[in-house]
Structure 1
Amino acid sequence: MKSQQKKTSQIDYWQPGMECCDEIWEAAYRRFETPAQELKKFIYRLQKLGINEWDKDLSVVELFCGQGTGLHALQQLGFHSTEGVDLSPHLLEQYQGPAQLYVGDCRELKFETQSRDVLIVQGGLHHLPVLPADLDQTLSEIHRVLRPGGNIVIVEPWQTPFLRFVHSVSRIRLLRKLWSKLDAFAIMTEQEIVTYEQWLSQPEKILTLLNTYFQTKQQIIAYGKLMYVGHRV
């Protein structure tokens, strides 16, 4: 009889981590979308980038993984060698699944050089406190950890006409009162405004850094998002 698959993840501490979380941001995010909606969104993104067609034996790490919805998405797509890294023990403790977890800073990964096949970031890079320096350091670490031929996958907010429109309507108080999701989006933006605006204001520097470390395989900019797949030579 086969043994049951491990259901509860193990958390290793590379460092003590940071206390979390911004309760105002967390409450807004719970109004913005349900866990089921978030999971569906992550699966859609990965499928749009063709990641569901990749070899399911690849070792995949999600950085800034939070409570692990992206890890669940990867597992639903069939990947079985998954790991997650986040600076918040509080968020990692909410994950229930088979992935190995690490409390750590993504600017200083403890993985061995050229030891992983895929590294994924969904909505974490725009929280980096200092740009472009922190992004440079993070991408350098990702490049170091990836095996030759490995891939980086990034989904981050991006300044597009659609996002500008959303920002403009989110400043209309009446619309926020009428549409809870819009109000939740506005609150989340307000709570992370410093790093968020810093990220949105430097598209050329960000793309230059990505092209410095990786060969672009896919780059989709639409509806307020950058969806990027890069290849490590």
Structure 2
Amino acid sequence: MNIQQNEPALQIEYWQPGMECCDEIWESAYRRFETPEQECHKFLKRLQQLGVDQWDKNLRVVELFCGQGTGLHALLELGFHSVEGVDLSPHLLKQYQGAAQLYVGDCRELKFEDHSRDVLIVQGGLHHLPILPADLEQTLSEMQRVLRPGGCVVIVEPWLTPFLRFVHAVCKIQVLRKLWPKLDALATMIEQEITTYEQWLSQPEDILALLNSYFQSEQQKVAFGKLMYVGQKT
């Protein structure tokens, strides 16, 4: 798998000035944790597990909280023709090189027209929301508004399973962090986002209740520290 880095991105549309939401320590750890190619492979595997690769490739697909756009590469590799990405950080969006249309904007206040998109995807963005459940409810409300009837959401977020509890425990062992750079990178990222991360992990029942109040659950899988959710707008 080869992510093209020399293809110019489309013009970035600014819905608002945006803000830099990631500090240098977090970004450095993120780069150490996995390469863009490894992350793209991970995203492809997730989407295939959820059956997204079997969907009509003419659907209008948006990835929210898309960051530097690795998930956009995965969607284009799956063959989708209309792919867009939204993130609050211009700095992260400018790192993307590819064919997707990009928007600097707050996912709690999307500027898309009502019923204008077919699929909305979030891979690891909701747990960065600062205020729960209010920000989550506002984001889900916007997602529901933007989706056409019958449209789908795909959400992948960290989830406090026994496996993730084990990972957290291992992250606290300093000697292992020194011996295993990937573990140290993960532990550093968790430390840098600990407030919103722990807030998210502490409210599983409320989060699922909100998801299922806005969308009809089609798939809901919890394994290896992740919630993988597919819902449909009715």
- CA offset digits 1:130-177 (Å, max 9, x no partner): 000000000000000000000000000000000000000110111111
2:73 aligned counterpart, secondary structure: helix
1:3 maps to none
2:148 maps to 147
The residue type paired with residue 153 of structure 1 is V
1:228 aligns with 2:229: yes
1:20 CA displacement: 4.6
| Distance in structure 1 (CA, Å) of the matches to 2:34 and 2:169 | 21
The residue type paired with residue 188 of structure 1 is M
1:47 aligns with 2:48: yes
Q: How does 1:1-233 map to 2 (within 5 A)?
A: 7-233=8-234
| Distance in structure 2 (CA, Å) of the matches to 1:12 and 1:36 | 26
Alignment check: 8 A CA contact 1:63 1:124 kept: yes
| Distance in structure 1 (CA, Å) of the matches to 2:133 and 2:15 | 24
- CA offset digits 1:1-23 (Å, max 9, x no partner): xxxxx852221000000025311
1:112 aligned counterpart, secondary structure: coil
| Distance in structure 1 (CA, Å) of the matches to 2:161 and 2:92 | 30
The residue type paired with residue 187 of structure 2 is A
The residue type paired with residue 78 of structure 2 is L
| Distance in structure 2 (CA, Å) of the matches to 1:163 and 1:176 | 16
Considering only aligned residues, what root-mean-square deviation do their CA atoms show, in Å? 0.9
The residue type paired with residue 170 of structure 2 is V
- CA offset digits 1:69-124 (Å, max 9, x no partner): 00000000000101100000111111111111100000000000000000000000
Greater displacement, 10-19 / 135-144:
10-19
- CA offset digits 1:176-231 (Å, max 9, x no partner): 11111111110000000000000000000000000100000001100000000000
| Distance in structure 1 (CA, Å) of the matches to 2:169 and 2:71 | 29
Q: Point out where structure 1 has 5 or more consecutive residues left out of the alignment.
A: 1-5
2:62 aligned counterpart, secondary structure: strand
2:9 aligned counterpart, secondary structure: coil
Q: Point out where structure 2 has 5 or more consecutive residues left out of the alignment.
A: 1-6
The residue type paired with residue 22 of structure 2 is C
Alignment check: 8 A CA contact 1:9 1:95 kept: no
The residue type paired with residue 93 of structure 1 is K
Alignment check: 8 A CA contact 1:126 1:199 kept: yes
Alignment check: 8 A CA contact 1:20 1:90 kept: no
Q: 1:203 to 1:162 in 2, by over 3 A?
A: same
Which 4+ runs in 1 deviate beyond 2 A?
none
Alignment check: 8 A CA contact 1:16 1:103 kept: yes
The residue type paired with residue 64 of structure 1 is F
| Distance in structure 1 (CA, Å) of the matches to 2:21 and 2:143 | 24
The residue type paired with residue 184 of structure 2 is D
| Distance in structure 2 (CA, Å) of the matches to 1:34 and 1:99 | 20
